[in-house]
Structure 1
């Protein structure tokens, strides 16, 4: 008889004794357990567990560092190449992990990226409300990047993983640009690419394609590093790295800048505003007076020959405030003296009591004309959900007793011979605003904005980067008119030819090209975004279905 005990136990042998038939019966070795091997086994498990825990902490630290590096490569720093490297680290961390681990690493990566990127929220609200609005917005948005990490972990096991991982990330960007409360597109990968070889891809597929290209290169780099551990074919991940770069460079000659619809001489008025943060809430009259004074200086400079006569003048957001009669004698006087239209932003109230953030064409003699009403309102500022709760984190609850009302019509104003496409401030972060304007025949784009709330933070430069991407996306020059800076003239290839400083009163005059040719991105509209979203969702679904099918087979 054999006693079946574990082979690793210490064993002792006993001699034979007489059998029943007079012979001898040999007894097999009897195994007697001892404490020392069991203790060694437990110690081995502890060491293995310790290594596992240590690896988790290292991956967590790497996710945080990668997120911060992504921020460090964002505008106003001209470091376009940092984004794919930071994304490569993130992709390597979540590769072949469980979905819940991918979510955790994605949450850390997103929070480390968005918290410093959105530091201007703390500059804006921190003195009165503490860090909670800043932490809250960054945290909510980081949840979407956590979802991206979970999805990327799932699809990383599929063939062609870099493609699916990039599509999943773009899907998460699309989702957080839509919900909650209308979404918050700030911090998309595309907005890190206001220079570099990926920027021309905006003319093919807009921001979605640019984000996809950055993520694809990052995923390809991660796969190359992964395959370096064991000899495998590198052709697929190498293609994932090279194809987007080569495609972007190949697009460069096709980025049109010629004035195929003529030229226009435009003036941009930056009247400045006091650097008061929340104190600006009740300083509408100061902003109005500063910009009327700056516009009057433009009039004087034109009459004295120090500046050329413009075809029209662009003033920032929130310069005016008017009721249904839309009466402003100061603006009418400036338009009359220059003899050209003004394009000016303000708060307007209709006869039915609706409030709008709008841009109005102010004509010499006749005054207010056509207008554009802002499409994407800022949550907890221009539109305020859950007002009793919002009062804890937003001063706008008491400033505006009712929500502003958005519109869904593209902003195209006929200003003289120019078809001017308009988006207000926050609008520039959304794809549909200028796409709709360009599709409706806009030959020039403008972004009136009020960034005086955010002090000397990076917010104005981040917004300028978005305007540069929109210029390339639609092949149009873009005029950025800000109350306190940064105002700028952006050419159709994304280059900035004139730019003001923060918190200065300064006027710009420039000749800009008018263009009527539509880019592929303009014609396709949201199709590239939806295509990538379908690929991302489909890849996640396949990651669940494919293993079950394999097991069943």
Structure 2
């Protein structure tokens, strides 16, 4: 291989990309690691998209990343396009989901190798000519949706919509949801490439649909106000990167009672995080623990908190349910201490709350958790004296389908009790806040996110992050929010219009190519 056929990566790019992708040496005497042109461009594009994600959040970099991808796949073979797209997805997901390495190293590798290949296929489908102005957005819409839905229910992390949640493009979300935001993000990148090439007429035609979508997104209805509520979102605080320990369950609960007791004003609603009420069956022996948090005590204490605060309390529960299962749910407790509603988590976490292919995996590992969380199947709402609340517990907030289900079931506010205390770094927690912003914009609802060690947040229906805690601190967030009704177009129709348009674009171009041949 001649040195002229390769591009040397400068130190900043090499440092990030070389550990993640196959490298080739070119030039015997340079002493520098070099990559083929398509891998280099793809890696740099992935680097840019990764840094547009939370927690970094430099959203223009995603547009530059897709502009670079669009340029790099012009006049290339299918193999070169695949390598470019794969390298982009590889680096983007390896950086954007780095936290996963601490949780499951094999799962982490699977994500950026296999899902990265999906973006390689999208680049192949886009072709090497100017039809990519239609095909590259369409192919990325399909690949993003597949990643959000497969395998085991999907892994919608480090997504394109997260990169744009703070950008003007996010105003398209009430119109067409996350997939429309994917399309306009990629289109904007292609328009940027055309501007750089000084092809101004083509750039204007490419960016035109983006402008139209943004304008319509601003104009479409996003619901109306029913009434207002004074709310308190409670974060009990405590150490980060911890694992569940039955001996610590009482301490976690007490930290949230302590924080709740600092509430210094009258409120209508108090939101606690996911699984901070984590009791065990009455009569269980102490074993190695000095004390245990029993079910009867937990029920009495929760009712007492609601009565003392004279407010509706939404606590998150987690406990055993028979010999093989756990349950993860939230309840609504009225000011008189009566529990009046319960929602069991529907979308549970693969390899975290349940083990897919358990019978097969148990043949090869003795470390498989003995219990799965029993998935719920009821409507995603909690009724109370002060309103009907849509609920997306923890992982569910990453799925637009769960937010949509909660609002279609009549949710007037969207509640996200969560628990990120087990995770390394703050990448996942930052992306969860971004997901709450996406759900707020898509549904036209306020979103209240409560986490035991951070981040807790309050998000307005226009996606503005009004308040957020820091990691590990004990704090109560206050706000006056609106109960709202009505459905946005994105909530009413979901992803199907964009999926149909993307499929038609890909199929139509394929047929035209066949006719031309």
Instruction: Please indicate, yes or no, whether the TM-score normalized by the shorter chain is above 0.5.
Output: yes
Q: Report how far residue 192 of structure 1 moved.
A: 0.9
Q: Secondary structure at the match of 1:262?
A: strand
- Determine if the alignment matches structure 1 residue 141 to structure 2 residue 115: yes
Deviation at 1:316, TM superposition (A): 0.6
Paired with 1:137 and 1:393, the residues of 2 have a C-alpha distance of 21
Matched, 1:500 2:469: yes
Q: Which among 380, 384, 391 is matched to residue 422 of structure 1?
A: 391
Q: Structure 2 CA distance, aligned partners of 1:96 and 1:186?
A: 32
1:272 alignment partner, SS class: coil
Instruction: Tell me the distance in 2 between the aligned counterparts of 1:394 and 1:378.
Output: 19
Count of matched residue positions in the alignment of Structure 1 and Structure 2? 477
2:347 matched to 1:401? Answer: no
Q: Note closer, same or farther for the CA distance 1:248–1:77 as it changes in structure 2 (3 Å cut).
A: farther
1:134-163 deviations in Å (ceiling 9; x for gaps): 33332222122222222223xx5464x312
Could you tell me how far apart the structure 2 residues matched to 1:61 and 1:72 are? 17
Aligned counterpart in structure 2 of residue 66 of structure 1, from 36, 45, 51: 45
Q: 1:548 to 1:477 in 2, by over 3 A?
A: closer
Residue aligning to 1:81: 60
Deviation of 1:499 after TM superposition, in Å, equals: 1.2
Q: Are residues 225 and 492 of structure 1, via their aligned partners in 2, closer, same or farther at CA, if it must alter by over 3 Å?
A: same
Using the TM superposition, give the Cα deviation of residue 256 of structure 1 relative to its aligned residue in structure 2, in angstroms. 5.5
Q: Name the SS for the 2:233 alignment partner.
A: strand
| CA distance in 1: counterparts of 2:343 and 2:378, whole angstroms | 8
Q: CA deviation at 1:378?
A: 1.3
Secondary structure of 1:280's aligned partner = coil
Map 1:129-528 → 2, pairs under 5 A: 131-153=105-127, 156-157=128-129, 159=131, 161-225=132-196, 228=198, 234-245=200-211, 247-248=213-214, 251-252=217-218, 260-275=225-240, 277=241, 279-282=242-245, 284-299=246-261, 301-302=262-263, 307-321=264-278, 327=296, 328=298, 329-350=300-321, 354-365=325-336, 367-387=338-358, 398=368, 400-528=369-497
> Secondary structure of 2:274's partner?
coil
Q: 1:142 to 1:487 in 2, by over 3 A?
A: same
Q: Distance in 1 between matches of 2:232 and 2:364?
A: 38
2:175·2:220 contact (CA, 8 Å) conserved in 1? no
- Cα distance in 1 for partners of 2:373, 2:335 equals 28
Query: Quick one: structure 1 residues 354 and 392, their matched pair in 2 at CA, closer, same or farther if it must change by over 3 Å?
Result: closer
Distance 1:50 1:536, change over 3 A: farther
| Structure 1 residues 409 and 51: CA distance shift in structure 2, 3 A | farther
Q: Which residue does 1:9 correspond to in 2?
A: none
Larger CA deviation: 424-433 vs 341-350: 341-350
Q: CA deviation at 1:431?
A: 1.4
| Structure 1 gap segments, 5+ residues each | 1-45
Q: Matches of 2:180 and 2:374 in 1, distance apart?
A: 31
How far 1:224 moved relative to its partner?
4.8
2:19 is matched with which residue? none
Label 1:280 to 1:68 Cα distance change in 2 as closer, same or farther (>3 A): same
DSSP 3-state at the match of 1:333: helix
TM-score normalized with structure 1 length: 0.79
* Alignment deviations for residues 326-364 of structure 1 (CA, whole Å, 9 cap, x no partner): 742221221222232221212245569643322222345
Whether contact under 8 Å (2:228, 2:483) holds in the other structure is yes
| CA-based RMSD | 3.0
Q: Which residue of 2 aligns with 1:546?
A: 512
Cα offset, 1:494, TM superposition: 0.9
Q: Tell me if structure 2 keeps the 8 A contact 1:323–1:350.
A: no
Q: Secondary structure, in 3 states, of the residue corresponding to 1:472?
A: helix
1-side partners of 2:51 and 2:412: how far apart? 35
Query: Matches of 1:293 and 1:53 in 2, distance apart?
Result: 58
Q: Residue deviations 1:114-144, cap 9 Å, x none?
A: 111111123x33xxx7x54433332222122
**2:306/2:337 contact within 8 Å kept:** no
Query: Given that residues 321 and 347 in structure 1 are in contact (C-alpha distance below 8 angstroms), is that contact kept between their aligned partners in structure 2?
Result: yes
Decide whether the 8 Å contact of 2:269 with 2:313 is kept in 1.
Answer: yes
Deviation at 1:485, TM superposition (A): 0.6
Task: Give the 3-state SS of the residue equivalent to 2:372 in structure 1.
Answer: coil
Quote the residue 2:90 is aligned against. 111
- Mark the CA change 1:78 to 1:255 in structure 2 (over 3 Å): closer, same or farther: farther
Cα 1:242/1:537, change in 2 over 3 Å: closer
Residue 242 of structure 1 and its aligned partner are, at CA, apart by: 4.1
Give, in whole Å, the separation in 1 of the partners of 2:248 and 2:208.
Answer: 53
Counterpart-to-counterpart distance in 2, 1:59 and 1:535: 29
Q: CA deviation at 1:77?
A: 3.0
Separation in 2, partners of 1:183, 1:58: 32
Find the partner of 1:90 among 69, 73, 88.
69
Q: Is the 8 A contact 2:469 2:475 kept in 1?
A: yes
Give yes or no for contact 2:42–2:87 (8 Å, CA) kept in 1: yes
Larger Rg: 1
- Residues 504 and 333 of structure 1: is their aligned pair in 2 closer, same or farther, counting only changes over 3 Å? same
